[in-house]
Amino acid sequence: MGYSDFGLDTIERLLKLELVTAELFPVVAKVETPTWLPDMLERMHRTLPLVSEKARCEAIVAPVLQAATELGGPPLSIFSGVRLDQNPESGLVGECDFIIARTSSVPRLKAPLLTVVEAKRADLELGLAQCIAQMEGVRQFNLAAGVTIPVYGAVTTGELWQFLKLVPGVLTIDSRRYPLHPLPDLLSVLSHILS
């Protein structure tokens, strides 16, 4: 069993998480969109057909995450396509589309890990359980390093984003979904999470 094998029913049963829905970010400080981002997204959209999850990761998700990490705060690193084999006995193994860590750029994962992003081609619901399992893997990774902070996650098609927050025993799914445009709204939430 791995991250992609989890369903919402197995999340509650195997990981013993209570799933709740609430608005996670009723108020966040607004940030400005870096000037390069809209142009980059437009160019990528024109030249790269968005027919696969990999294409969406490269053309939309990676530039948005890069912009969010540039908006200030502590040094951050974006890990793309890395394995997080945290707990094989519980099925917390596999590759994550993106993990953001509060470290300067290093070639390996190092706590604290802040956010995991799971990209799906069309349907956010298909990625929820996988993202939650990855978030639990991140929480356990941090805990093993002596770090106890909330872990955030996102499931995205690129054009639509849904955020999640994990604290011990409780996973909150944001009742709000964020479209890619307007960019400042999405970047404000990402910036809030990363700060």
pLDDT, residue 66, reads 94
Q: How many CB atoms lie within 10 A of CB 44?
A: 18
Structure confidence by residue, pLDDT tens digits, 95-145: 999 999 998 777 788 889 988 998 887 788 889 999 999 999 999 999 999
pLDDT, residue 24, reads 97
pLDDT, residue 48, reads 78
Asked if residues 3 and 116 have their Cβ atoms less than 8 Å apart, the reply is: no
Domains and CATH numbers, the chain: 3-194 (3.90.1570)
Ranges of the chain whose pLDDT falls below 70:
none
- CA–CA separation, 87 vs 141, rounded Å? 9
Q: How many CB atoms lie within 10 A of CB 13?
A: 10
- CA–CA separation, 161 vs 119, rounded Å? 9
Amino acid code (one letter) for 16: K
pLDDT, residue 12, reads 86
Structure pTM?
0.93
Amino acid code (one letter) for 167: V
Coil, strand, or helix at residue 167?
strand
Here the tokens at position 22 are: 């609430």
Here the tokens at position 123 are: 């349907």
